[in-house]
Amino acid sequence: MQSNIPIPDLDPVSLPAPVWLLKGLLLLTFFLHIIPMNLALGGGFVAAITDWIGRRRNSEHHLSLARSMARILPIVIAFAITLGVAPLLFIQVLYGQFFYTSSVLLAWPWLSVVVLLILSYYGFYLYSFRWEQLQGKRLVVVLASAILFAAIGLIYTNNLVLMLTPEKWAAMYFQNPHGTHLNLSDPTVVPRFLHFFTASFALAGLLTAVLGLLKQRQDSAYGQWVIRYGLLWFIIATLLQLGVGSWFFLSLPQAVRTMFMGGDGVATAILVVALVCAVASIALMLIGFGSSNPVWKVIAGIVLITLTIICMVLIRDLVRSAYLERYFDASRFSVEPQTGVIVLFFLLLLGGLGIIGYMMKKLLVAR
């Protein structure tokens, strides 16, 4: 530990669970969060653009798709938020020393997330509930909401990168203790954000394709169109990602990059699997795009891209550990597991999922 870099001490209260369990839950819940988060982020923009094309060209297909997305988005956002609370909890218990400190440095932008989120979320509801009444104005509403949503992502990226670079903290704080910093001077922040942002368009494209699969049963021409339209978004975004992702990778510090290029066997293997799955899924989607019965290709492509996301979540964690290697040593935690409460948590989680399952079943039967 370097003495000239002010890193807060570990909390004197023991860790209430083994590190592997907290880490596992952090990664699992982050994975669960990142999917609806991406769908909501990209979905807002895709809905806005689709709606805009629909109104300009007076295209029934575009308008009806945008309408469906408007209905879905508020629910997707609810899940993005709800599932986002859990990783926010686990990151604080494991990485509080870093997370709280960087948050204080950009306190005002960080706090503004709350206001931005309320505004953009109500905006999406407005878009959904006042579709007819708003007419042309709804484009402004949905686009503004989507932009606010993207701004939240940018603020998150700023903070979560700053927490990895304690060597920058003191200079920032002593220059200005009012919490008005951002971290845009860090060369990885912009490409990192764009990496997520581009991915969100790909995922929103997949959501659209899935909508198409569902609509196909009632209206096969429209369903086919929606599938192809969604796949187009996915393909374009993922091809762009080849460039953006490479930019992000190259912006990482040398030591982190080397790890993924043979320096660390496991890290390299995970990256290779992620890339292979991504390329394979583009190939499948391209075939699906040209085929008259794309169902199985789309589903296989989704499975592959899910594998890519899982790998990327692991890679993100490896990058974090590499950054913090000099400052963070998980073996220094004193661990006193609250075993009874942990068991209770898992039992209640099963119960909670059971109740949600019960409600979903009732809804589906009612159809």
Partner 1 sequence: MNYPIWDVPIIGGGLLIGIVSILHTYVSQFAIGGSLFLVLTERKAYRENDPGMLEYVKRHSRFFLLLTVVFGAITGVGIWFTIGLVHPSATSALIHIFVWAWAIEWITFLVEVASAFVYYYAWDRLDRRTHLKIGWIYFWAAWLSLAIINGILAFMLTPGQWIITKNFWHAFLNPTYLPSLVLRTAVCLALAGLYALLTASRLQQAELRVKLVKYASRWLAPAFFVLPIAGIWYITQIPPLAREVSMGGAAAVTIFAGLSILFSVIIFAFVYFGPYREPGKFPFSFSVMFLFMGLLVTGDTEWVREAVRKPYIIYDYMYSNAFLVAHRDQYQREGSLASAKWVATKGIADADMTAAGRDIFELQCQSCHTIDGYIAIRPLVRDWPEEYIDRQLENLQTLKGYMPPFLGTPRERHALARWLASLKGNNVTGNIHIVKPSPVSRDLTQGDRDAK
Residues 46-75 touching partner 1, rule: CB under 8 A, are: 75
The residue written with tokens 């293997």 in the block is: 269
As given in the structure block, the two tokens for residue 56 are 């300009």
Q: Is 349 in the site for partner 1 (CB under 8 A)?
A: yes
Smallest separation (angstroms) from partner 1 to the CB of 340: 8
Task: Return the range that interacts with partner 1 (CB under 8 A); candidates 12-20, 182-190, 295-303, 320-328.
Answer: 12-20
Dihedral angle over CA of 170, 173, 179, 183, nearest 10: -50
Residues 159-198 touching partner 1, rule: CB under 8 A, are: 169-170, 173-179
Q: According to CB under 8 A, which one of 24, 60, 85, 263 is a site residue for partner 1?
A: 85
Q: Report the amino acid identity of residue 275.
A: L
Burial category of 94 from C-beta neighbours within 10 Å (exposed 0-12, middle 13-18, buried 19 and up): buried
Residues 100-139 touching partner 1, rule: CB under 8 A, are: 100-101, 103-105, 107, 110-111, 113-114, 117-118, 121-122, 125, 129
Task: Return the range that interacts with partner 1 (CB under 8 A); candidates 4-12, 199-207, 270-278, 288-296.
Answer: 4-12
Residue 313: count of CB within 10 angstroms of its CB: 19
Q: According to CB under 8 A, which one of 1, 2, 82, 295 is a site residue for partner 1?
A: 82
In contact, 16 and 338? CB cutoff 8 Å = yes
Beta bridge partners of 15: 335
Q: Is 366 in the site for partner 1 (CB under 8 A)?
A: yes
Decide whether 45 or 95 has the Cβ nearer to partner 1.
95
Q: Report the amino acid identity of residue 100.
A: Y
User: CA-CA distance, 231 to 234, in Å (whole number)?
Assistant: 5
As given in the structure block, the two tokens for residue 216 are 């196909």
Q: According to CB under 8 A, which one of 90, 234, 289, 323 is a site residue for partner 1?
A: 90
Decide whether 173 or 222 has the Cβ nearer to partner 1.
173
Q: Hey, is 10 helix, strand or coil?
A: coil
Q: Is 1 in the site for partner 1 (CB under 8 A)?
A: no
